[in-house]
Amino acid sequence: MTTCDLEDLGLDEGGHLPLSRALAGVPAGTGVAVRGSHPALALHLGAWCRAKGHRLDSTGGVLRVVRGTADGDRWAGAVRAGDAARPAEHAAPAWGLAARGALVEAGGPPLSVDWVDRDLVWADVAPRLYANASAAQWDPATAVDWTARSDVPPDIEDAVVQVMTYLVENEQAALVIPARLLSRLHPHFREVMQLLAVQVADEARHVEVFTRRALLHREALGRSGAGGRASLQTLVGEHDFTMASFLLSVLGEGTFVDLLRFLNLHAPDAVTADVTRLAARDEARHVAFGVAHTAHVAHTDPSFLGTLRAAVERRHSALAQTAGLNQEVFDSLVLLAAGSWAPSAIKRGWAAVQDLQRGMDEGRRRRLAYIGFPDDEAAEISALHTRNFM
């Protein structure tokens, strides 16, 4: 017979641990002799056995715990929450918040989430993008030299403030959307959840640095157009994971990367150059996941391309009566590219903004083609994208 010698260790001091270990090594109905000098050992053993479904036998003055079946039954219906190394095709709500690959005891509360199927949220690049995003996080306090000397002319500074105000507005929408998606995603797809969490952190940081740059030499921000806010509201109101990723990241943030690079190129000071460069690097990761995920869904279900196009058309129709891009933002972009009010400079600035818009269109078409749209359809869809850029 197996013997468990507790010496002077009481069950109320952790003695149940070696006893449970001893019982785990014997089949149900088999006894384990228990020795020990703790004065309340027999009393505690009786209570413990009743709680655990075992039986205490003290025949002949020897304490024996006979293993019952209740402890074994506890895990009889347990299942693995998939494989720790890779996500399952379907994440059961009954797995709850269990770690991927854990043995899940039956009977726990199910998790109330919307997306439990891998193909609805997944992209094979997600683990790599998350690793990259984690390594590339930057601190606004140290990554930007906020004390750098600046001799930006007042009118150019006003243009910077207006553009930064516009960027903050758009980045706030880009913060809210992944935060909402995150709360509706099964944590079994942890790489996607982690990536979205970093994306939220990225956008929060962008809001901070753009606001800080706007107020660096001014006491108030610029203007917010109703048309721009209406455009962003159509994004915030999108509840489908893939549709939100497509409209926000593939079309909107993809276009925004071009805008940030434009602003970096024409930045009138070092701070503006730094914040737009750093933000563009973050946004490029967001775009990469959006494109990869949408392409994954389209590859799985080619008919979904029609659903994507219909979403763009609906958004275009909903915004048809709005002004689109704030005129003050457009004019500020021209002035930033011009660098002065000289007619020849304004002409260059105007041409630069036209080139920017053509580049945005070409970028959208390339991403749409990668997802699976024929070139002609990609061009049509790109032309329907909101005039507000995002």
Q: d(Cα 329, Cα 388) in Å, to the nearest integer?
A: 10
- Return the C-alpha torsion angle 65, 66, 67, 69, nearest 10: -130
Over residues 114-130, the mean pLDDT reads 96
Give the mean model confidence (pLDDT) for residues 317-333. 87
Q: What is the pLDDT of residues 201-253, one digit of tens each?
A: 999 999 999 999 999 999 999 999 998 999 999 999 888 999 999 999 999 99
Neighbouring C-alpha atoms within 13 Å toward the C-beta of 342: 7
Q: What is the mean pLDDT of the chain?
A: 94
- Can you give the pLDDT at residue 73? 60
CA distance 288 to 290: 6
Judge residue 254's burial from the number of C-beta atoms within 10 Å of its C-beta, 0-12 exposed, 13-18 middle, 19 or more buried.
Answer: buried
- Name the pTM for this structure: 0.86
Supply the pLDDT for residue 185: 97
According to the model, what pLDDT value does residue 346 have? 97
User: What are the tens digits of pLDDT across the range 53-94?
Assistant: 899 999 888 999 999 875 556 677 789 999 999 999 999 999
| Residue-wise pLDDT tens digits, 33-43 | 999 999 999 99
Q: What is the pLDDT of residue 71?
A: 52
Nearest Cα residue to 385 out of 247, 286, 227: 247
- Return the structure tokens found at 163: 């553009």
Domains of the chain are 2-72 (3.30.110.40), 76-112 (no CATH), 118-383 (1.10.620.20)
| Furthest-apart CA atoms within the chain: distance in Å | 109
